[in-house]
Amino acid sequence: MSDSQNTEPYLDLQKFYLRDVSFESPNVPQVFQENWETDLNFELNTSYRTLSENTYEVSLKLSAKVQIKDKLAFLVEVDQAGIFVVHNFPKEQLEHILNSYCPNILFPYAREAISDLTTKGGFPPLLLAPINFDALYAQKIKEQKNQKPADVDNKGSDKELRH
């Protein structure tokens, strides 16, 4: 490979995998007899860490808690991750790639895992709507700019985006 090719931006997904999966339904079979008026609490967390030069593990954690009245119908949690090689991008663009582009690639796999788990638990599939990771990342940047400089912690290689 020539030197000119070494300076080109490059992104590659090397591997994707489930880091952790959990499904709990402590109130079955009683909840199957309830009127199906549910309350959904959904949480999302993205993070990344540096594995080696230009190689990152990106993690997308999704958690969905469904209740019927005051009873827990089910709690499903999925930690979908991937190893990405990212070369020759400016720092700002690298942050965007790791906090938005990569989680966007992982999301369909995590969404499918959640749908499969809820179905296997005897419930209707939980079909999550698409997520705009660009908007979430923009919100994170805006919040960081509004913080005082002393409030921002730039230490360490792990970075998280919570919603």
Domain residue ranges in the chain: 10-145
Q: Residue 130 and residue 128: Cα distance in Å, rounded?
A: 7
Confidence of residue 152 (pLDDT cuts 50, 70, 90): very low
Residues 120 and 84: their CA atoms lie apart, in Å, by 31
3-state secondary structure (DSSP) of residue 109 = helix
pTM for the full predicted model: 0.82
8-state DSSP, 62: E
Least confident of 62-66, 128-132, 135-139, 145-149: 145-149
In tens, the pLDDT along 38-56 reads 899 999 999 999 999 999 9
Closest among 112, 114, 107, 106 to 23, alpha carbons compared: 114
Whether 18 contacts 117, CB under 8 Å = no
CATH of domain 10-145: 3.10.420.10
